[in-house]
Protein backbone atom coordinates (compact mmCIF):
# COMPACT_ATOMS: atom_id res chain seq x y z
CA UNK A 1 0.00 0.00 0.00
CA UNK A 2 1.84 3.12 -1.26
CA UNK A 3 1.12 6.57 0.18
CA UNK A 4 -0.07 9.25 -2.25
CA UNK A 5 2.75 10.52 -4.49
CA UNK A 6 4.69 13.66 -3.57
CA UNK A 7 7.33 13.84 -6.28
CA UNK A 8 6.94 12.12 -9.63
CA UNK A 9 9.92 11.95 -11.95
CA UNK A 10 9.33 10.86 -15.56
CA UNK A 11 12.05 10.16 -18.08
CA UNK A 12 14.60 12.57 -16.62
CA UNK A 13 17.76 13.01 -18.69
CA UNK A 14 20.64 15.34 -17.84
CA UNK A 15 23.68 15.53 -20.05
CA UNK A 16 26.87 17.56 -19.64
CA UNK A 17 28.38 17.92 -23.04
CA UNK A 18 28.40 14.38 -24.36
CA UNK A 19 28.28 12.82 -20.93
CA UNK A 20 24.95 11.56 -19.58
CA UNK A 21 24.84 12.05 -15.84
CA UNK A 22 21.25 10.83 -15.66
CA UNK A 23 19.39 9.03 -18.41
CA UNK A 24 15.69 8.25 -18.60
CA UNK A 25 15.19 8.18 -14.86
CA UNK A 26 11.66 7.67 -13.53
CA UNK A 27 10.50 7.13 -9.97
CA UNK A 28 7.94 8.26 -7.44
CA UNK A 29 8.58 9.49 -3.92
CA UNK A 30 5.62 9.26 -1.58
CA UNK A 31 4.25 11.72 0.93
CA UNK A 32 5.39 11.15 4.47
CA UNK A 33 8.10 8.76 3.38
CA UNK A 34 11.86 8.78 3.59
CA UNK A 35 13.18 7.85 0.17
CA UNK A 36 16.90 7.13 0.07
CA UNK A 37 18.94 7.45 -3.11
CA UNK A 38 22.07 5.34 -3.06
CA UNK A 39 24.66 4.40 -5.60
CA UNK A 40 28.39 4.52 -6.18
CA UNK A 41 30.18 7.85 -6.56
CA UNK A 42 29.41 9.42 -9.88
CA UNK A 43 26.07 7.62 -10.20
CA UNK A 44 24.22 10.91 -10.65
CA UNK A 45 22.72 11.34 -7.20
CA UNK A 46 23.71 14.96 -6.63
CA UNK A 47 22.86 15.76 -10.24
CA UNK A 48 19.37 14.41 -9.57
CA UNK A 49 19.08 16.74 -6.57
CA UNK A 50 20.28 19.66 -8.62
CA UNK A 51 17.61 18.91 -11.22
CA UNK A 52 14.89 18.65 -8.61
CA UNK A 53 15.90 21.90 -6.92
CA UNK A 54 16.38 23.73 -10.21
CA UNK A 55 20.14 24.34 -10.14
CA UNK A 56 20.40 22.32 -13.35
CA UNK A 57 17.90 22.31 -16.16
CA UNK A 58 17.40 18.74 -17.46
CA UNK A 59 17.34 18.20 -21.22
CA UNK A 60 14.22 16.06 -21.11
CA UNK A 61 11.84 14.71 -18.53
CA UNK A 62 9.19 15.95 -16.16
CA UNK A 63 9.36 16.54 -12.45
CA UNK A 64 5.96 16.95 -10.83
CA UNK A 65 5.50 17.96 -7.24
CA UNK A 66 2.05 17.29 -5.74
CA UNK A 67 0.85 19.59 -2.99
CA UNK A 68 -1.60 18.19 -0.42
CA UNK A 69 -4.30 20.56 -1.73
CA UNK A 70 -4.18 18.80 -5.10
CA UNK A 71 -2.06 21.41 -6.89
CA UNK A 72 0.69 19.92 -9.08
CA UNK A 73 3.76 21.90 -10.13
CA UNK A 74 6.19 21.10 -12.91
CA UNK A 75 9.58 21.73 -11.35
CA UNK A 76 11.44 21.64 -14.65
CA UNK A 77 9.78 24.91 -15.65
CA UNK A 78 10.57 26.87 -12.50
CA UNK A 79 13.77 28.74 -11.59
CA UNK A 80 15.56 27.47 -8.49
CA UNK A 81 14.31 30.13 -6.08
CA UNK A 82 10.73 29.61 -7.24
CA UNK A 83 11.05 25.87 -6.63
CA UNK A 84 11.97 26.62 -3.05
CA UNK A 85 9.28 29.25 -2.67
CA UNK A 86 6.28 27.99 -4.64
CA UNK A 87 6.82 24.25 -4.83
CA UNK A 88 8.18 24.25 -1.27
CA UNK A 89 11.17 22.04 -1.84
CA UNK A 90 14.06 22.62 0.55
CA UNK A 91 17.54 21.17 0.42
CA UNK A 92 20.88 20.86 2.11
CA UNK A 93 24.24 20.67 0.39
CA UNK A 94 26.96 18.09 0.28
CA UNK A 95 29.50 20.77 1.20
CA UNK A 96 27.68 22.71 3.86
CA UNK A 97 26.47 26.10 2.68
CA UNK A 98 25.60 28.22 5.67
CA UNK A 99 25.87 31.98 5.96
CA UNK A 100 29.09 31.70 7.95
CA UNK A 101 29.43 35.24 9.27
CA UNK A 102 25.81 35.50 10.35
CA UNK A 103 24.54 34.13 13.63
CA UNK A 104 22.77 30.79 13.90
CA UNK A 105 19.46 32.51 14.56
CA UNK A 106 19.96 34.86 11.63
CA UNK A 107 20.51 31.86 9.38
CA UNK A 108 17.09 30.60 10.41
CA UNK A 109 15.52 34.03 9.96
CA UNK A 110 16.84 34.30 6.40
CA UNK A 111 15.12 30.98 5.70
CA UNK A 112 11.81 32.64 6.59
CA UNK A 113 12.46 35.49 4.19
CA UNK A 114 9.25 34.97 2.22
CA UNK A 115 6.90 35.01 5.19
CA UNK A 116 8.60 38.03 6.73
CA UNK A 117 8.79 39.81 3.42
CA UNK A 118 5.07 39.61 2.77
CA UNK A 119 4.27 40.42 6.40
CA UNK A 120 6.42 43.52 6.15
CA UNK A 121 5.24 44.51 2.65
CA UNK A 122 8.77 44.34 1.24
CA UNK A 123 10.14 45.60 4.53
CA UNK A 124 8.23 48.88 4.34
CA UNK A 125 6.00 48.07 7.30
CA UNK A 126 9.09 46.97 9.17
CA UNK A 127 10.81 50.25 8.40
CA UNK A 128 7.89 52.11 9.89
CA UNK A 129 7.83 49.73 12.84
CA UNK A 130 4.26 48.57 12.36
CA UNK A 131 2.86 45.95 14.74
CA UNK A 132 1.99 43.58 11.96
CA UNK A 133 5.64 43.06 11.15
CA UNK A 134 6.64 42.76 14.78
CA UNK A 135 4.11 39.95 15.24
CA UNK A 136 5.41 38.16 12.15
CA UNK A 137 8.97 38.52 13.37
CA UNK A 138 8.05 37.09 16.76
CA UNK A 139 6.38 34.12 15.06
CA UNK A 140 9.51 33.63 12.94
CA UNK A 141 11.71 33.65 16.02
CA UNK A 142 9.39 31.11 17.63
CA UNK A 143 9.65 28.78 14.65
CA UNK A 144 13.42 29.21 14.65
CA UNK A 145 13.53 28.43 18.36
CA UNK A 146 11.44 25.32 17.73
CA UNK A 147 13.96 23.99 15.22
CA UNK A 148 16.88 25.04 17.38
CA UNK A 149 15.39 22.96 20.18
CA UNK A 150 14.80 20.03 17.86
CA UNK A 151 18.38 20.09 16.60
CA UNK A 152 19.90 20.84 19.97
CA UNK A 153 21.41 24.14 18.92
CA UNK A 154 19.47 26.51 21.20
CA UNK A 155 22.51 27.41 23.27
CA UNK A 156 24.40 28.42 20.10
CA UNK A 157 21.62 30.67 18.77
CA UNK A 158 23.66 33.87 18.94
CA UNK A 159 27.04 32.58 17.85
CA UNK A 160 28.48 32.80 14.37
CA UNK A 161 27.34 29.92 12.19
CA UNK A 162 30.77 29.51 10.65
CA UNK A 163 32.33 28.97 14.08
CA UNK A 164 30.19 25.94 14.97
CA UNK A 165 31.67 22.43 15.00
CA UNK A 166 31.08 20.43 11.84
CA UNK A 167 28.30 18.20 13.18
CA UNK A 168 26.41 21.22 14.47
CA UNK A 169 26.71 22.92 11.09
CA UNK A 170 25.11 19.90 9.43
CA UNK A 171 22.19 20.04 11.86
CA UNK A 172 21.87 23.78 11.45
CA UNK A 173 21.56 23.34 7.72
CA UNK A 174 18.67 20.92 8.27
CA UNK A 175 17.04 23.31 10.73
CA UNK A 176 17.41 26.12 8.23
CA UNK A 177 15.81 24.05 5.49
CA UNK A 178 12.93 23.15 7.82
CA UNK A 179 12.31 26.82 8.61
CA UNK A 180 11.15 27.29 5.03
CA UNK A 181 8.24 24.94 5.90
CA UNK A 182 8.92 22.56 3.02
CA UNK A 183 6.81 19.72 1.68
CA UNK A 184 9.83 17.91 0.36
CA UNK A 185 13.20 18.02 2.08
CA UNK A 186 16.21 16.91 0.03
CA UNK A 187 19.26 16.00 2.09
CA UNK A 188 22.61 15.55 0.36
CA UNK A 189 24.74 13.24 2.49
CA UNK A 190 23.60 14.54 5.87
CA UNK A 191 25.57 11.93 7.79
CA UNK A 192 28.88 12.56 6.03
CA UNK A 193 31.60 13.20 8.57
CA UNK A 194 29.43 12.47 11.61
CA UNK A 195 30.54 10.14 14.39
CA UNK A 196 28.29 7.14 15.28
CA UNK A 197 26.54 9.02 18.08
CA UNK A 198 25.79 12.07 15.94
CA UNK A 199 24.69 9.73 13.20
CA UNK A 200 22.11 8.01 15.40
CA UNK A 201 20.88 11.41 16.63
CA UNK A 202 20.44 12.34 13.00
CA UNK A 203 18.36 9.19 12.40
CA UNK A 204 16.06 10.22 15.20
CA UNK A 205 15.80 13.77 13.92
CA UNK A 206 14.92 12.66 10.40
CA UNK A 207 12.34 10.12 11.57
CA UNK A 208 10.90 12.80 13.80
CA UNK A 209 10.61 15.20 10.86
CA UNK A 210 8.84 12.53 8.80
CA UNK A 211 6.45 11.43 11.52
CA UNK A 212 5.58 14.79 13.09
CA UNK A 213 5.67 17.11 10.08
CA UNK A 214 4.31 14.52 7.67
CA UNK A 215 6.58 15.73 4.88
CA UNK A 216 8.55 13.66 2.41
CA UNK A 217 12.30 13.30 2.64
CA UNK A 218 14.67 12.52 -0.18
CA UNK A 219 18.05 11.44 1.07
CA UNK A 220 21.40 10.84 -0.58
CA UNK A 221 23.52 8.80 1.76
CA UNK A 222 26.51 6.51 1.76
CA UNK A 223 26.18 5.53 5.41
CA UNK A 224 24.28 2.25 5.18
CA UNK A 225 23.28 2.32 8.82
CA UNK A 226 21.34 5.50 8.14
CA UNK A 227 19.91 4.28 4.84
CA UNK A 228 18.82 0.89 6.10
CA UNK A 229 17.74 2.15 9.49
CA UNK A 230 15.31 4.87 8.56
CA UNK A 231 14.30 4.84 4.91
CA UNK A 232 10.95 3.55 3.74
CA UNK A 233 12.07 3.11 0.18
CA UNK A 234 15.46 2.90 -1.44
CA UNK A 235 16.37 3.86 -5.02
CA UNK A 236 19.63 2.53 -6.39
CA UNK A 237 21.34 4.50 -9.16
CA UNK A 238 24.25 3.38 -11.24
CA UNK A 239 25.67 5.37 -14.16
CA UNK A 240 22.62 7.59 -14.17
CA UNK A 241 20.10 4.72 -14.41
CA UNK A 242 17.76 3.32 -11.83
CA UNK A 243 18.81 -0.29 -11.31
CA UNK A 244 16.58 -1.20 -8.40
CA UNK A 245 13.99 0.18 -6.04
CA UNK A 246 12.00 -1.12 -3.12
CA UNK A 247 12.07 -1.41 0.63
CA UNK A 248 15.48 -1.56 2.31
CA UNK A 249 15.12 -5.31 2.72
CA UNK A 250 14.22 -5.87 -0.91
CA UNK A 251 17.14 -3.77 -2.07
CA UNK A 252 19.52 -5.52 0.27
CA UNK A 253 18.52 -8.86 -1.25
CA UNK A 254 18.43 -7.67 -4.86
CA UNK A 255 21.20 -9.48 -6.78
CA UNK A 256 21.68 -6.62 -9.25
CA UNK A 257 22.32 -4.20 -6.46
CA UNK A 258 24.68 -6.52 -4.70
CA UNK A 259 26.65 -6.92 -7.88
CA UNK A 260 26.65 -3.30 -8.95
CA UNK A 261 27.00 -1.53 -5.69
CA UNK A 262 27.53 -3.69 -2.65
CA UNK A 263 29.84 -6.03 -4.52
CA UNK A 264 29.89 -9.84 -4.66
CA UNK A 265 28.42 -11.40 -1.49
CA UNK A 266 31.65 -12.86 -0.21
CA UNK A 267 33.53 -9.57 -0.42
CA UNK A 268 30.62 -7.27 0.42
CA UNK A 269 32.05 -6.25 3.75
CA UNK A 270 35.21 -4.93 2.14
CA UNK A 271 33.47 -3.02 -0.63
CA UNK A 272 30.88 -1.57 1.69
CA UNK A 273 33.58 0.11 3.66
CA UNK A 274 35.44 1.16 0.55
CA UNK A 275 32.49 2.78 -1.14
CA UNK A 276 31.42 4.78 1.90
Partner 1 sequence: MFAVDRYPSVSSFDQAGPFRAASSGVWMEYFFQQVVNGLTLGAIYGLIALGYTMVYGIIGMINFAHGEIYMLGAFISLVAYLIFSSIGGGSVALALLATLLVTMVFTAIWGWVVERTAYRPLRGAPRLAPLISAIGVSIVLQNFVQIAQGARVKPLPPVIQGGVTLDLGKTFSVNISWLQIVIILLTLALMAGFTWMISRTSLGRAQRATEQDMKMAALLGINVDRVVSATFVIGAALAGVAGLMVTLYYGVIDFYIGFLAGIKAFTAAVLGGIGSLPGAMLGGLLIGLTESLWSAYFSIQYKDVATFAILVGVLLFRPSGLLGRPDVEKV
Partner 2 sequence: MAASSPPMIRSAAFAALLAALLALPLLGVRLVDSATGLSLSGRPELVAWAAGGVFCGRLMIDLFRRWLADYAIRLPVLPAPPDWTRFGVGWAMALFALVLPFLPFADRNLVDKATMVLIYIMLGWGLNIVVGLAGLLDLGFVAFYAVGAYSYALLSLTFGLSFWICLPLAGLFAAAFGLALGFPVLRLRGDYLAIVTLGFGEIIRIILQNWQDLTGGPIGISGIERPSLFGLSFKAVPPEGQISFAAFFGLDYSPDHRVIFLYFLILILALATNLFTLRIRRLPVGRAWEALREDEIACRSLGINPTTIKLSAFALGAMFAGFAGSFFATRQGFISPESFTFIESAMILAIVVLGGMGSQIGIVLAALLLVGLPEWFRDLQMYRMLAFGAAMVLIMLWKPSGLLSSRSPTVRLGGRA
Where does this chain bind partner 1 (CB under 8 A)? 16, 46, 50, 55, 93
Is the Cβ–Cβ distance between 112 and 179 less than 8 Å?
A: yes
**For residues 99-138, which are near partner 2 according to CB under 8 A?**
99-103, 105-107, 109-111, 113-114, 116-117, 120, 122-123, 126-127, 133, 137
Which CB sits closer to partner 2, 134 or 239? 134
Q: Which does 126 bind (CB under 5 to 8 A by kind): partner 2, partner 1, none?
A: partner 2
Binding to partner 2 by residue 269, rule CB under 8 A?
Answer: no
- Shortest distance (Å) from residue 49 CB to partner 1: 8
Give kind and range of the element (H or E) at residue 89.
strand 89-91
Q: Which does 65 bind (CB under 5 to 8 A by kind): partner 2, partner 1, none?
A: none
Q: Which helix (H) or strand (E) holds 274?
A: helix 268-275
Residue 239 main-chain phi, psi, to 5 deg: 50, 40
Helix, strand or coil, per DSSP, at residue 135: helix
**Alpha carbons 41 and 263: distance in angstroms, whole number:** 14
46 phi, psi to nearest 5 deg:
-65, -35
Partner from partner 1, partner 2, none contacting 200, C-beta within 5 to 8 A by type = none
Contact between 250 and 197 under an 8 Å Cβ cutoff? The reply is no
What, of partner 2, partner 1, none, does residue 50 touch, CB below 5 to 8 Å by kind?
Answer: partner 1
Contacted by 111, from partner 1, partner 2, none: CB < 5 to 8 Å by type? partner 2
Give 207's contacts (C-beta < 8 A, 6+ positions apart). 34, 230
Q: Are 95 and 64 within 8 A, CB to CB?
A: no
Residue closer to partner 2 (CB basis): 13 or 154: 154
How far apart (Å, rounded) are the C-alpha atoms in residues 53 and 51? 6
- Using CB under 8 A, pick the residue from 157, 207, 224, 271 that binds partner 2: 157
Q: Contact residues for partner 2 (CB under 8 A)?
A: 53-55, 79-82, 84-85, 90-91, 93, 97-103, 105-107, 109-111, 113-114, 116-117, 120, 122-123, 126-127, 133, 137, 141, 144-145, 148, 154, 157-158, 176-177, 180
Amino acid sequence: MRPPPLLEVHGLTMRFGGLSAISELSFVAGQGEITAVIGPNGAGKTTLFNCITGFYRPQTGRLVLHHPDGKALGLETLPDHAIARKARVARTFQNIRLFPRMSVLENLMVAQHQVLMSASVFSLAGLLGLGRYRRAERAAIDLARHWLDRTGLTSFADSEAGALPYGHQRRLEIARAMCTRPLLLCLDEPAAGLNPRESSDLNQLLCGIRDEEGIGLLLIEHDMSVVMGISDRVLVLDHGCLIAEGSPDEVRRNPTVIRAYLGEPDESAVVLGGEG
